[in-house]
Structure 1
Amino acid sequence: MLKIRWIIIFLTISISSIGQDTIYIGVINDRMIEESVLGSELQSQIEIEVEQLLQHRFNIAFNYYSLVQDGAIRPEQFDLAYANNDIVISNGTVSSDLASKRDSYPKPTIAGFILDAELQGLTKTNNGTSGVSNFAYLESPYDLKRDIDLLYRLSPFKHLVIASPPNALTDDIFIDALFSKFLSDKDVEIENVRYGSDITSWVAGHDNEQHAVYVLPYLGNDPNYIKSLFDLLNNTYKIPTVALLGEEYLQAGALAGYEIDKNFRKIPRRLAISILKILEGTNPSELSVEMETFGETLLINMATARSIGIYPDFDLMGDAKLLNLVKEDGVGTISIQQVIAEALNNNLELKIEKTDIDISDTEINIAKSDLWPQLDVTSSLSQVDETTALTYQGAQGRTNWFVTGGLSQVIFSEPALANITIQKLLKESEEQDLMQVQMDIIVDVANAYMNILLAKNNLDIQSQNVDRNKENYDIAKAKEAIGYTGASDINRWTAELANANIELNNAYANLRQAKFLLNQLLNRPVDQPFDTEDITLEQSMLLIADRRSQFIDNYGELEKFADFLVDFSKTRLPSLEKIDLGLRVEERLQKSRKRALYLPSVGMQGNANRLLGKYYLPSGIPSIETGTTWNLSVAASIPIFQGNRRTNLIQQSKLSILQLQDTRKNVENQLELRIRSNMEVVGASFSRMELSNTAAEASRKNYEIVRDAYSSGQANITTLIDAQNNALATQLAANNAVYNFVLDFLILERSIGFFNFLATPEQRDDFFIQVRDYITNN
């Protein structure tokens, strides 16, 4: 400890002796600055921050060194830096890694880019410092493990490629150790591939099965390189990517990442502050190595998701900022998953609910404020008559200026503590409300999307019906031309064609209205053009119902499936969780009311008064100066008798708890009724869908037979129109049957709190296994 003090004194004397002489700061970059766009930006930011912070106290000059030259690492650059500078900082992963491995530090040294202190052999004292004389480092503000976990969640991979610049670290062993540490619980191969020819050749030689790429910063000076790399990964090989540099790389084509600008910009500022403290006499060994980071927003590039066919799950979409949801030309196609993602991001009702949560946060802070000191100051100017002024004997005049200050502090207050806990529980309750609204929005948006598919199919059917009427009108005209039929058939087909066109126009209007509704739910301009994904109602049915349709094809399976869903829903539904939170609120309130019978409220209060000015003293009375008067007290209070109010409050809480318990049972019963009723509806819809398809196919064949008969004169117009109308009606009914089945299934999923088509593959497999095990064992 004595040695450190002498070092500090020596540094202080040395720096003081410099006075206004120039302070030389050596910046060791990983490579030539003209070869690195990112390095150049960081270097400029370091210069700006240091000069802004120190320019009025010190003359600052920078010297720059490149650790990597001609493809080789040159450690002697540190010796040059120490020989010609007062302070040395490393501006890169290579230089920071080498700096951390030195045996001694002749000059104050800061390693600015330490990716993993533990793996790089660095320790941290209990005070959060390096403990090494003349050496400080900055812990990484980036959460690489979080990025890797995100990438694995988006697409579970077996082979992870780390895309990194040449000589990004001292060797590949470090990268392998670093990312192996993050993936220690998974069976994953890790390969470090350098930018340039290495990564291009690697991509060309591998297929995309269960591969993923984590993209570290590109340090080269080709502005188009990263975009071309993502174009290759996305469009040709369909490989998912997560980028360390967040939005910049997402705009170039990465699938996901986090906004890191705030934390990235903290590094130059932190280096500047550390340099200032060193110049003021602080040994670098006493500088904190910890970096406070801001919360970072998850970003997901939906354009890339569409391109590679990998979409985030429901939870990720709810938490993320979604980029490129709609193509720039405004007429792109969108899938049902994209629609739901956009709704979760933009829907006004959801934004209102999220604001309620923010309001709950303020309620918590307001509750906490009761435990903080309360300070108030009052200034007053008073006027008294001369007789009263005489009684003050010179201590006050006829006009007096007073200042009074009051301070109070709660030492212990059970109601205040209970209020904080209750407000936190109420916030959780608001979060459950948000989940309910999210589920409702999913059903509404999915219903609106399916309604567009239904309207498109209906439009196609009505268009086919117009074509049929035109065809039959032509047949009637041909028959009239040879005298086989009269004008009555022509007139009838003219009327039928007009009616068919009316229905076609109505179908088109219905489609536009359906799109308007979806735009409204997505908080878009109502008339914004778009198109749905090229998917049929039948394909959407398979997407939503998935393998579970096998559990509803007979009443025996249907009943067992309903039993499983009743049990499954009880652990997932926000409505039940909200009641449970209400119970916890009442239980905490009851506990507080019971404690009020024997726990006092303890507080401290103080006041100070001072006469700042007295004017117009009575004549002949000498002025007497008075000082500040003050008082300080600590008080404890406990109600003794309040007309049985406290006892009644406790009884009220007990009744409220019993009421909530009964409410929970009632809600459980209602939920079971809803699930079982919805299951019956789904079962009926499923059978109706198959029967409707059978009827539509039979009616189509019948129409074709009758039409041929009419054409050959073996059937009259009434029979053909009846067959045609029947074919139209059954085709529309089959179309509606699929739509109703999908909607019924969505409502069923809402009633159990689980949307299969938004779940991850692992969640879907787990659900299917649970169902199969339940049905097998019951």
Structure 2
Amino acid sequence: MTKSGLRTLLVLTAALFFAFGSSAVAQRNARPTFRIMMLADGESPLFAERQSALKSEILELMKEDAAITFVEPGTKTNWTLEAAEAALKEGLADRRVDMIIVSGPMAGVAVGRIPKLSKPVLIPYAAPELQGLPRNGNRSGRKNLAYIAGLLNFERNIRQLEEIVRFDRMALIVGEEVVQHLDAPERPIQAASQRLGVRTSLVIANGGAETTLAAIPKDTEAIYIGPIFKWSDEEMQRLVDGINAQELPSYAGGGVHWVERGALATMETDEDETRRMRRAALFVQRIQMGEPAASLPVSFDQRPVLVINMATAKAIGTWPRFEVMAEARLINDQSGTRGPLITLEIAMRDALRANLDLMATGLDIDASYEGVKVARGSWLPQAGADGDFLINDPAVSTSFAQAQRQFTWGIGGSQLLYSPQAHAELRFRRDTYWSREHDYMSARLDTMLEAGEAYLDVLRAKNNEGVNRDNLKLTRKNLSLAETRNAIGVAGREEVFRWQTQIAESRSAVIQASALRNQTEINLNRILNRQLEAPFRVPPPEDVRTVAPGSDQRLVKYLQDAWSFKVFREFMAKEAIRNSPEVRSIDSRISARDELVKGERRQLGIPDIAVVGSFTHVPYAGGRGSEAPAPIPNVDIVGRQTFTWSVGATASLTLFDGASNYARIRRQFREIDRLQTDRAVIAQRLEQDVRSALHQAGFSYANIALTRDAAEASARNLELVTDLYQRGAADIIQLVDAQNQALGAALAAANALYDFLIDALRVQRASGAFSLEGSEEERDDFIERLDAFAAVRKRESRAAPPAAEPTRTNPREQN
């Protein structure tokens, strides 16, 4: 083959490769088209809003799976069941449509009347009991039918409204399109009302708001606003305003939107609405991927949250109780902050009183104390009783032994005088119990530290949220300035767009800061064993006096130079070991093992000694052998005794047990060696924690002033750059950089204080005591011991340094 022919062949091969490769890639990247028809009872703002939200969820979820197309129904529905059935049948027959999503009560009834569906149908808002929809467990059970239930929970809603305001008579307002073709739609709410002792009347909204308001019975004490799909938002607003004008409390079945516009309360949250939409979109995706619609779950677990409009409550003269307000999300709440005031000291003390983890530790220790009582029981008198009734062989029954029929009972007892093993066990249990008590003290310190850190995290999060909100306000101000510059021709539209971007980022930062604040509040509530989202108040973040741990100016001299600070670290390390409950716990465990060793050794030569006694009584003897023995001349015959007793002492000593006693002694010595090593490890780590925590606290304390200076300088720089930008002497890049620098410096300054306070708490935890629990006398004693230690160290520094202690080595690794 010539070179030109070979070149031609290679070109053709490459062309074919790319052609077929491109075709394969195109086939892989091609998405199937999935056509969805959305069908509703009629034109309604609510239906339009829901369909728009559902479309957005579907498009976002399935953007990688299929090309979604929404097909408009050919038949226009006009709020009649006949029109809904015609539109549904048309959609089922339309080959362009792959799936139908229906909204509204009549469309749902129309679906329920069709026994065989030719294509998947989804009902996101379904009331199967009222619409005649099938249900087989947690599925529809009907081919091509899927729906999401969980709409009707009247009893819960009415009960919640009753907790806000007491009433006996209630009116349910629903649109005529809801009740026109449903099977007794008022029955569920009337049944729920009867269970709660409330009489309910049905008011059908078949006209405008004024007509509906006039139809409300005069003796009505509360209103349940049900679905009214045909009305506009303006007509619904007139209804809500008219209900409030009659000073009637109302429950908004339409959700938070209508509470924000004047209804009193609801438990239908936007979060549940979003979850329902996302569930529906997920069903569409699963159906498109081939999963049978009839197999999809129909139940929907709502997550209700009571929402109360406090402005409406005030307007109609209703005042929810404190316990209701504490668990509710309040709209238009002008009462300011709610809940108890919590300071750092209150948080740490309340954690000791209510923390569940600490409580569980205490209960576990109480249970271990019962082990001490069990071991003590063997030293107390022991008593027992027994009885028996026997029928013996007449051939062996005699007057001197067992009668043919005989009932015998007796009581026996003993008192242990001494037992090496029982003595050692009692002391072992006692020392083990004290070890657990020291473990509790360690858990107690950990709980106080956890509560203190959580509280300071709340203050930090609140402060950061405030800084971010201030930055958002500043960004809005700069956006207004940029629009002004653009209007006068000094700057272009790109500056406006840049500040709009900054606003979006600042909003995100505020939302994130708010979320973090909520998380820190929940964490603190958990530690204090309060309702996780129960409200509470804290002092202003800038009020340092309310959060600073107790301090003493007499300590300042030990923090000003390297030598004094080193002495202070050494003293605090010794204090940590002196106060450490962990070290005391290990010491108690070592003492417990020592008692076991003593017991094993004593058991080699000291017996167990006890006093024993018993008596028996034979109240009945019958048959052969029950009679007295025949007298024999000149012989004193003693027959069966009715009462017998005995008293004595016992002693037992193990002479040889296969050398297991010696093995147990050696094992206890090994346990003691291990515990002593653990003690050294704990002491070493305590010293490390104290020294490290003091170094960190020293840095964070100095960082407070440094970050404050940086924040002040960046604020002045931002003010200067803003002025230059306003006059056209600085560009947007400089201003954005200055603002970002000022934000970072402000956050750093805000965090520096709380970093130091947390570090100070960690120093106190490492040293084994918190200042808030110490009295003035104890603080004076601490300073005196510190001064004495410093004086000794000063004298020792003038003498020759002591010889270093030999390093302990691992015996297993010596060779």
TM-score (normalizing by structure 1) = 0.54
Give the match's secondary structure for 1:571: helix
Q: 1:569 aligns with which of 564, 576, 591?
A: 576
Residue 459 (structure 1) shift: 1.1
- 1:754 and 2:769 correspond: yes
* Number of equivalent positions: 446
The amino acid of 1:339's aligned partner reads A
Q: Distance in 1 between matches of 2:683 and 2:502?
A: 54
Alignment correspondent of 1:107:
none
Partner of 2:398: 393
Partner of 1:333, secondary structure, is coil
1:707 aligns with 2:710: no
Deviation at 1:465, TM superposition (A): 0.5
Deviating more after overlay: 426-435 vs 460-469: 426-435
Q: CA deviation at 1:504?
A: 1.1
Asked if 1:694 corresponds to 2:702, the answer is no
2:387 to 379, 391, 397: 379
CA distance in 2, matches of 1:588, 1:684: 47
2:598 aligned with 1:591 = yes
Partner in structure 1 of residue 362 of structure 2: 354
Deviates more, 1:730-739 or 1:442-451: 730-739
User: Structure 1 residue 481 and structure 2 residue 487: aligned?
Assistant: yes
Is the 8 Å Cα contact of residues 460 and 541 (structure 2) preserved in structure 1?
no
Aligned residue number for residue 609 of structure 2: 602
State the 1:546 CA deviation: 5.0
Equivalent residue for 1:456? 462
CA distance in 1, matches of 2:394, 2:557: 98
Aligned equivalents of 1:331 and 1:370: distance in 2? 54
Which of 438, 446, 453 in structure 2 is aligned with 1:447? Answer: 453
- 8 Å CA contact retained: 2:398, 2:626: no
Which residue of structure 2 aligns with residue 424 of structure 1? 430
User: Is the 8 Å Cα contact of residues 549 and 757 (structure 2) preserved in structure 1?
Assistant: no
How far off its partner does 1:773 sit? 5.0
Change (3 A) 1:461 1:445: same
For residue 368 of structure 1, what is the aligned residue in structure 2?
Answer: 376
Q: CA deviation at 1:371?
A: 1.1
Partner of 2:508: 502
| Letter of the 1:667 counterpart | I
Residue 653 in structure 1 maps to residue 634 in structure 2: no
Q: Which residue identity lines up with residue 389 of structure 1 in the other structure? A: P
Change (3 A) 1:619 1:454: closer
Query: Which residue does 1:185 correspond to in 2?
Result: none
Measure, in 2, the Cα distance between the counterparts of 1:412 and 1:392. Answer: 42
**Paired residue secondary structure (1:411):** strand
Partner of 2:690: 675
Matching residue of 2:127: none
Q: 1:562 to 1:612 in 2, by over 3 A?
A: same
Deviation of 1:621 after TM superposition, in Å, equals: 8.2
The one of 344, 347, 363 aligned to 2:352: 344
- For the 8 Å contact 1:379–1:402, the answer to whether it is kept is yes
Alignment match, 2:340? 332
Q: How many Å separate the matches in 2 of 1:480 and 1:656?
A: 81
Question: Partners of 2:780 and 2:485 in 1: how far apart?
Answer: 62
2: CA distance, partners of 1:468 / 1:607: 95
CA distance in 2, matches of 1:552, 1:502: 42
Whether the aligned pair in 2 keeps the contact of 1:406 and 1:605 (CA below 8 Å) is yes
More displaced stretch, 728-737 vs 685-694: 685-694
Which residue of the partner structure matches residue 468 of structure 1? 474
How far apart, CA to CA, are the structure 1 residues paired with 2:406 and 2:453? 74
Deviation at 1:635, TM superposition (A): 1.0
- Deviation of residue 500 (structure 1)? 1.0
Note closer, same or farther for the CA distance 1:562–1:621 as it changes in structure 2 (3 Å cut). Answer: closer
Aligned mates of 1:600, 1:629 — CA distance in 2: 29
* Partner in structure 1 of residue 537 of structure 2: 531
Larger deviation: 337-346 or 447-456?
A: 337-346
Aligned equivalents of 2:599 and 2:757: distance in 1?
50
Matches within 5 A, 1:115-154: none
Question: Any idea what the Cα deviations from partners look like across 1:524-552, whole Å, max 9, x if unmatched?
Answer: 11122111134537446643555346644
Which letter does structure 2 place at the counterpart of 1:353?
A: T
Aligned residue type for 1:342: D
* Counterpart amino acid of residue 349 in structure 1: D
Shift of 1:654: 3.2
Instruction: Please report the TM-score for the alignment, with normalisation by the length of structure 2.
Output: 0.51
Q: 2:754 aligns with which of 724, 731, 739?
A: 739
Contact 1:544 1:742 in 2 (8 A): no
| Counterpart secondary structure, 1:483 | coil
Question: Which residue does 1:490 correspond to in 2?
Answer: 496
Aligned amino acid, residue 390 of structure 1? A
Q: Deviations over 1:472-494 (max 9, x none)?
A: 11111222222222222222212
Q: Check conservation: 1:459, 1:508, Cα contact below 8 A.
A: yes
* Alignment CA distance shift 1:769-1:483 (3 Å): farther
Aligned residues of 1:558 and 1:683 also touching (Cα < 8 A): no
Q: Structure 1, residues 691-732: CA drift from partner, whole Å, max 9, x if none? A: 222222221111111111111111111111111111111211
Measured at CA, do residues 672 and 537 of structure 1 come closer, stay the same or move farther in structure 2, by a change above 3 Å?
farther
Say which SS state the counterpart of residue 499 (structure 1) adopts. helix
Distance 2:549 2:682 in 1: 30
The gaps in structure 1 that reach 5 residues or longer are 1-328
Q: Distance in 1 between matches of 2:672 and 2:402?
A: 61
In 1, the alpha carbon distance for the partners of 2:518 and 2:683 equals 40
Q: How far apart, in 2, do the equivalents of 1:541 and 1:771 lie? A: 26
Gaps spanning 5+ residues in structure 2: where?
A: 1-336, 630-638, 795-815
Q: Is the contact made by 2:708 and 2:749 (CA closer than 8 Å) also made in structure 1?
A: yes
Aligned with 1:642 (options 657, 666, 677)? 657
**2:648 corresponds to which of 633, 636, 640:** 633
Q: Select the structure of larger CA radius of gyration.
A: 2
1:611 maps to what in 2? 618
| Structure 1 residue 455 displacement after superposition | 0.8
Q: Indicate how the Cα distance of structure 1 residues 546 and 716 shifts in structure 2: closer, same or farther if over 3 A, else same.
A: farther
